[in-house]
């Protein structure tokens, strides 16, 4: 396959039930009413010359190149701004048009450097293409007059350059920043001949501006003005492979544009249904970790963690791992070993790891990092609706009238979806945007951003989600705003009445609960009324909901609210968990939890077990296994001795680091499979090198239940894709696995999992993606769930009583710490820290309110000691009123900070999901790193030594 | 908190979160939850040493003993 750009229809698709037929250059074409002449022509393969138009942006009509003639119409209208009409007769190429276009083009080129041969866009430049298309043969104007040539480049952004000399001021970059990304960082400064693209003030460069480096402007640029640095360095790609991003749960699809095995750039795929052609700084640019020098590509073993690593052959590593696992099981029992599947790996890889544990280890001690993020979503939505997943697709947000965001910061955590949400929130064509309610202790960017202002921001005290939601329910029920007709038809009426009676109690009123939530009752009532009566209301939530001691209760409280107001079962409404990692949904679907087989069937269910037992030829333990925190407890007790961890860094990501370290240190065999020597590997005995998403085939499932293909574009640096490593380990343990390709694993998943029955690699190639359930009833998948009724039958209302966390502030620890993330980094940062994304966030900072800072004599940038009952660390302060007094906030992207040294063992009552979001802390001035940080750094350095072979004489 | 104390804490925490239900249902809910989500060793530990459990959690553990 040779390289070509994705087709560009010039203007966005129009949606209308009415069809219009016209003739373009004698050829008839039928399109929806509202389509532009330019797009209608493109539909039949007629490329009208254009520069300022591209189909991701609203038509602009500035370049004057796309002129056409229309029978009966005066002059030469621009085809990009002229809508089609019935019977219209369009001519796209006439002598008059040719002359006009050539004149326009000549003017453009008179002020453009003619360095095509050495230009990064050579062969992939719309200006070059159009010059050819209009037949421009010479430029008559000479070079004497004023030009824009020879201006300094802005190379401040680590991923792309801005060369103003090549700019034709088509405004595509400015419009992309406005319309697609919604940051509005760019503008055209000056007017007339002085017009110039600017990233804000004249003093701003791209890096210092509000630009979030999403890449939309680079993608929109028709010339080399905005070019990826990788393209400038490597050259144009020669092929493109569509694949799925391995960062967050949005699941953007990209064209991996390749030259040989070298990745030139990742360009968002316009046909991707999750991202619709958009991207963020991580997926678009931050893939350099894949070939980072710190990647480990050879297996290593050691007898104890105080020894250096020794590189060994794969055979020796597998033989050693198998013998250790067998020895430990023989000595300590069948249940003394377990494993952790990765939410970063593919569905097929995850499925194989849990199969290895259930069928090979002979127990159910398998868990996944969803334990520490969205396990309450699984529990809560399964209990209330009957499925452990979100109810909508992302497109649904465009039909929402009210958007309630609780415990989520999508502009940082799920940026590409946030752009879509912001598009719905901004007024459009004179129509107001959707109204917004934000429930968050911090004033997140979404609360107030260009053209967006939340109707209500409820800055609650961390840990009081359930109280806030109960107070909202109180308002809805007592003010008669519930949709009782919906409830009677779809839900269990008796359970609803019990719930309604509970929430109606005076002690659950916003006024009474204000004492614990610290939320203004009038504001809360306003938010509840808006949610219940504002039209289609959709709830989006994140880890600020789940990572609490009442995470599962909060998820159920959200579900209650949606059911009580009838906001479920159609586009524009629903309950939407924003998943953290790329394949958290998939890891859960694949049976990564210790109590569930794939498709959320409990291990105690004899029918489900029988299915697997027949297929796998082994007995499945009917007892649930250990969850991650339980594994660590059992390890400290001496009952759990070996762990196989694929692609997760529990030492850095899990709470109470010293407890995790104690658990790992107590094990006799820790096997880590990862790209890098991560923090957990400091406690490992066997290291199996992992592969990146660019090096393997498989599928990821995003937050909308959308299964999307991951396609191999280069050979694994370590020699094996992760699924092959697991298979080889299984074979060393005596299991007769013979998968030749991940598609065979998916076939097995489909065979054993009713909601995946209609999924196969062939179907995915055909459809691009599939949202489960996909089976005989829904062969093309299910964008919106619970349409005619709930999966479980009747929707279940669950009374969720507010139970305060036991993590309390007091004189010693008077502040509440809550944690989160930032746009440029991802999770523990193992990938993004190994890219130029560190330009934006080189360290974790502690956000603290000016009042709290002043009380402690702290200035912005000071080193502070952050201490809780669990431990202490130090980092630099960031003084801001974005957090309320009494609340401090930090991220956990950097191992030097180790924010989780401070977080505690408290966890969700139903799932043991850790309470990351509430820790009582004290903040005080500090001189630098804490004892823990110093000790850990020394340990880390020691644990990462790799023995070097003696040089041959 | 050692593991035994943590299990007692967890059982009590489950009981606190279902406390709005009438006691008989609450006991069943706690027992069912432990049955569905705790591994055999955790169950054995709480059965062996139920000291420190609140009345509902205690009754749930007793129920677990009889239905197992």
Chain B closest CA to A365's CA: distance in Å?
9
Residue A334: pLDDT over 90: yes
- A630–B39 C-beta distance less than 8 A: yes
Over residues A42-59, mean pLDDT: 96
Chain A CB within 8 Å of residue B48 CB: no
Strands in A589-743 per DSSP E: 596-597, 601-602, 642-646, 669-674, 686-689, 698-701, 706-710
- B1–A905 C-beta distance less than 8 A: yes
Output the 3-class SS for A932-951: HHHHHHHHHHHHCCECCCCC
Chain B closest CA to A654's CA: distance in Å?
17
Euclidean distance between CA atoms A945 and A511, whole angstroms: 59
Tell me: the pLDDT tens digits for A373-412?
A: 899 999 999 999 999 899 999 999 999 999 999 999 999 9
Residue A953: pLDDT over 60: no
| Predicted pLDDT at A74 | 93
Instruction: Check: CB of residue A9 under 8 Å from CB of residue A32.
Output: no
A626, A639, A909 ranked by CB distance to B13: nearest: A909
Over residues A740-750, mean pLDDT: 98
- A634–B3 C-beta distance less than 8 A: yes
Strands in A231-355 per DSSP E: 239-244, 253-259, 262-268, 300-301, 310-311, 337-341
Chain A CB within 8 Å of residue B33 CB: yes
| Predicted pLDDT at A821 | 84
| Predicted pLDDT at A145 | 85
Tell me: the pLDDT tens digits for A552-586?
A: 999 999 999 999 999 999 999 999 999 888 999 99
C-alpha distance from residue A228 to each of A116, A120, A557, A763, A912 (Å): 17, 9, 46, 34, 44
Radius of gyration of chain B (CA): 11
| Predicted pLDDT at A943 | 87
Instruction: Check: CB of residue A564 under 8 Å from CB of residue A477.
Output: yes
Output the 3-class SS for A873-886: EEEEEEECCCECCC
Tell me: the pLDDT tens digits for A9-37?
A: 999 999 999 999 999 999 999 999 999 99
Angle at A347 between CA A764 and CA A724, to 5 degrees: 105
List the single best residue of A338, A600, A624, A639 to mutate versus B (max B Cβ within 10 A). A624
Tell me: the pLDDT tens digits for A815-865?
A: 999 988 888 888 878 888 899 998 988 889 999 999 999 999 999 999 999
Extents of the domains making up chain A: 19-133, 160-287, 300-371+584-771, 375-577, 815-942
Query: Was domain A300-371+584-771 assigned CATH 3.40.50.740?
Result: yes
- The number of C-alpha atoms within 13 Å of A851 and in the hemisphere containing its C-beta is 8
Chain A CB within 8 Å of residue B39 CB: yes
- Chain B residues in contact with A364 by the CB 8 A cut-off are 39
- Of all residues in chain A, the percent with pLDDT exceeding 90 is 88
Residue A899: pLDDT over 90: no
Query: Was domain A19-133 assigned CATH 3.10.20.740?
Result: yes
A549, A595, A799 ranked by CB distance to B20: nearest: A799
Q: At B3, is the secondary structure helix, strand, or coil?
A: helix
Closest CA to A469 of A404, A536, A424: A404
Domain A375-577 has what CATH class? alpha beta
Reported as a pLDDT band with limits 50, 70 and 90, residue B1 is confident
**Number of H-type helices and E-type strands within chain A:** 29, 36
Phi first, then psi, for residue A866 (nearest 5°) are -115, 110
Reported as a pLDDT band with limits 50, 70 and 90, residue A950 is low
- Chain A residues in contact with B16 by the CB 8 A cut-off are 803, 909
| Predicted pLDDT at A940 | 86
Instruction: Give me the DSSP letters along A53-119.
Output: --TTS-----S--SB-EETTS-S--BTTTPBP-TT-EEES--HHHHHHHHHHHHHHHHTS---GGG-
| Predicted pLDDT at A841 | 85
Query: Was domain A815-942 assigned CATH 2.40.40.20?
Result: yes
Extents of the domains making up chain B: 3-67
List the single best residue of A332, A910, A911, A914 to mutate versus B (max B Cβ within 10 A). A910
Query: Between A39 and A658, where is the model more confident?
Result: A39
Angle at A38 between CA A36 and CA A39, to 5 degrees: 70
List the single best residue of B39, B41, B54, B68 to mutate versus A (max A Cβ within 10 A). B39
Domain A160-287 has what CATH class? alpha beta
- A502–B36 C-beta distance less than 8 A: no
Q: What is the ipTM of this complex?
A: 0.96
Phi first, then psi, for residue A752 (nearest 5°) are -105, -5
B1, B20, B37 ranked by CB distance to A502: nearest: B20
Mean pLDDT over each residue of chain A, to the nearest integer: 94
In 10 A of CB A140, how many CB atoms? 6
Euclidean distance between CA atoms A300 and A696, whole angstroms: 22
List the single best residue of B13, B31, B44 to mutate versus A (max A Cβ within 10 A). B13
| Predicted pLDDT at A447 | 95
Euclidean distance between CA atoms A308 and A325, whole angstroms: 21
User: Chains A, B: CB contacts under 8 A, how many?
Assistant: 57
Instruction: Give me the DSSP letters along A603-628.
Output: TT-HHHHHHHHHHHSSPPPSS----H
Over residues A98-112, mean pLDDT: 95
B16, B20, B37 ranked by CB distance to A624: nearest: B37
Reported as a pLDDT band with limits 50, 70 and 90, residue A942 is confident
| Predicted pLDDT at A949 | 61
Any residues with CB less than 8 A from the CB of B24 and at least 6 apart, and which? none
């Amino acid at each position: 396959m040779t390289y070509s750009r994705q087709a560009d229809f010039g203007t966005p698709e129009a949606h209308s039930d009415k069809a219009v037929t016209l003739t373009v250059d004698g050829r008839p074409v039928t399109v929806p009413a509202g389509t532009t002449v330019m797009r209608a022509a493109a539909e039949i393969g007629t490329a009208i010359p254009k520069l300022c138009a591209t189909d991701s942006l609203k038509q602009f009509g500035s370049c004057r190149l796309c002129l056409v003639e229309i029978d009966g119409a005066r002059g030469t209208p621009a085809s990009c701004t002229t809508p089609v009409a019935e019977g219209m007769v369009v001519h796209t190429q006439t002598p008059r048009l040719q002359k006009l276009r050539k004149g326009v083009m000549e003017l453009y080129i008179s002020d453009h450097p003619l360095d095509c041969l050495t230009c990064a866009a050579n062969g992939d430049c719309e200006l070059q293409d159009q010059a050819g298309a209009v037949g421009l043969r010479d430029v008559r104007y000479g070079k004497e007059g004023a030009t824009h040539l020879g201006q300094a480049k802005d190379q401040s952004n680590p991923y792309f350059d801005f060369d103003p000399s090549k700019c034709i001021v088509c405004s595509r970059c400015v419009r992309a920043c406005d319309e697609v990304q919604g940051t509005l960082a760019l503008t055209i400064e000056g007017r007339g001949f002085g017009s110039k693209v600017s990233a804000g003030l004249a003093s701003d460069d791209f890096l210092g501006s509000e630009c979030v480096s999403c890449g939309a402007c680079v993608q929109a640029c028709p010339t080399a003005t905005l070019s990826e640095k990788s393209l400038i360095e490597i050259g144009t790609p020669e092929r493109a492979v569509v694949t799925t991003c391995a960062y967050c749960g949005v699941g953007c699809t990209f064209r991996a544009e390749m030259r040989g095995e070298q990745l030139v750039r990742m360009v968002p795929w316009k046909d991707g249904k999750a991202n619709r052609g958009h991207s963020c700084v991580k997926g678009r640019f931050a893939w350099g970790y894949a070939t980072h020098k710190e990647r480990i590509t050879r297996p290593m073993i050691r007898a104890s963690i105080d020894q250096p690593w020794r590189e060994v052959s794969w055979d020796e590593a597998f033989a050693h791992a198998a013998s250790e696992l067998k020895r430990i099981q023989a000595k300590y029992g069948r249940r003394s070993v377990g494993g952790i599947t990765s939410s970063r790996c593919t569905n097929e890889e995850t499925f194989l790891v849990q199969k290895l544990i259930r069928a090979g280890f002979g127990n159910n001690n398998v868990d996944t990092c969803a334990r520490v993020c969205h396990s309450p979503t699984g529990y809560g939505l399964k209990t209330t609706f009957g499925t452990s997943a979100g109810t909508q697709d992302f497109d649904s947000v465009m039909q929402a009238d009210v958007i309630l965001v609780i415990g989520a910061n999508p502009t940082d955590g799920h940026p590409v979806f946030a752009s879509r949400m912001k598009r719905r929130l901004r007024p459009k064509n004179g129509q107001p945007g959707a109204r917004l309610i934000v429930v968050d202790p911090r004033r997140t960017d979404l609360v107030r951003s260009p053209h967006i202002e939340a109707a209500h921001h409820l800055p609650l005290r961390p840990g009081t989600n359930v109280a806030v939601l109960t107070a909202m329910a109180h308002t809805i029920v007592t003010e008669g705003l519930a949709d009782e007709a919906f409830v009677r038809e779809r839900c269990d009426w008796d359970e609803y009445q019990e719930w309604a009676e509970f929430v109606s109690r005076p002690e659950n009123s916003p006024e009474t609960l204000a004492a614990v939530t610290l939320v203004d009752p009038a504001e809360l009532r306003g938010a509840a009324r808006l949610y219940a009566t504002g039209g289609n209301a959709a709830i989006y939530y994140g880890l600020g909901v789940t990572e609490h001691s009442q995470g599962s209760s909060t998820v159920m409280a959200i579900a209650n609210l949606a059911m009580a107001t009838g906001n479920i079962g159609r586009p524009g409404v629903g309950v939407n968990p924003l998943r953290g990692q790329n394949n958290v949904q998939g890891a859960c679907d694949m049976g990564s939890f210790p109590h569930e087989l794939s498709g959320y069937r409990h291990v105690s269910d004899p029918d489900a077990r029988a299915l697997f037992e027949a297929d796998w030829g082994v007995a499945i333990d009917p007892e649930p296994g250990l969850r991650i925190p339980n594994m660590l407890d059992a390890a400290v007790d001496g009952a759990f001795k070996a762990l196989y961890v694929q692609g997760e860094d529990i030492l850095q990501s899990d709470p109470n680091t010293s407890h995790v370290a104690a658990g790992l240190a107590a094990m006799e065999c820790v096997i880590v499979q990862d790209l890098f020597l991560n923090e957990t590997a400091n406690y490992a005995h066997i290291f199996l090198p992992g592969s990146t998403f660019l090096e393997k085939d498989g599928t990821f499932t995003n937050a909308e239940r959308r299964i999307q293909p991951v396609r191999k574009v280069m050979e694994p640096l370590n020699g094996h894709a992760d699924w092959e490593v697991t298979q080889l380990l299984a074979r060393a343990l005596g299991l007769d696995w013979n998968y030749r390709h991940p598609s065979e694993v998916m076939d097995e998943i489909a065979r054993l999992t009713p909601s995946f029955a209609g999924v196969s690699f062939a179907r995915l190639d055909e459809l691009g993606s599939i949202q489960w359930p996909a089976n005989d009833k829904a062969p093309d998948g299910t964008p919106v769930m619970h349409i005619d009724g709930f999966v479980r039958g009747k929707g279940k209302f669950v009374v969720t009583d507010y139970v305060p966390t036991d993590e309390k502030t007091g004189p010693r620890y008077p502040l509440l710490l809550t944690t989160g993330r930032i746009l440029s980094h991802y999770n523990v940062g193992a990938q993004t820290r190994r890219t130029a994304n560190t330009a934006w966030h080189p360290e974790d900072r502690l956000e603290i309110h000016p009042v709290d800072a002043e009380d402690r004599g702290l200035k912005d940038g000071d080193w502070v000691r952050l201490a809780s009952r669990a431990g202490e660390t130090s980092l630099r302060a960031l003084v801001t009123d974005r957090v309320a007094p009494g609340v401090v906030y930090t991220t956990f992207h950097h191992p030097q900070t180790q924010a989780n040294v401070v977080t505690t063992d408290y966890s969700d009552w139903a799932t043991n999901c850790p309470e990351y979001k509430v820790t009582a802390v004290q903040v005080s001035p500090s001189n630098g790193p804490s004892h823990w940080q110093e000790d850990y750094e020394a340990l880390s350095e020691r644990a990462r030594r790799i023995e070097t072979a003696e040089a041959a004489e | 908190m050692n593991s035994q104390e943590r299990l007692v804490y967890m059982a009590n925490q489950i009981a606190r979160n279902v406390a709005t239900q009438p006691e008989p249902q609450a006991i069943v809910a706690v027992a069912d939850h432990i049955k569905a989500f705790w591994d055999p060793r955790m169950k054995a530990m709480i059965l062996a040493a139920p000291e420190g459990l609140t009345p509902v959690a205690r009754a749930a553990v007793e129920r677990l003993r009889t239905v197992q």
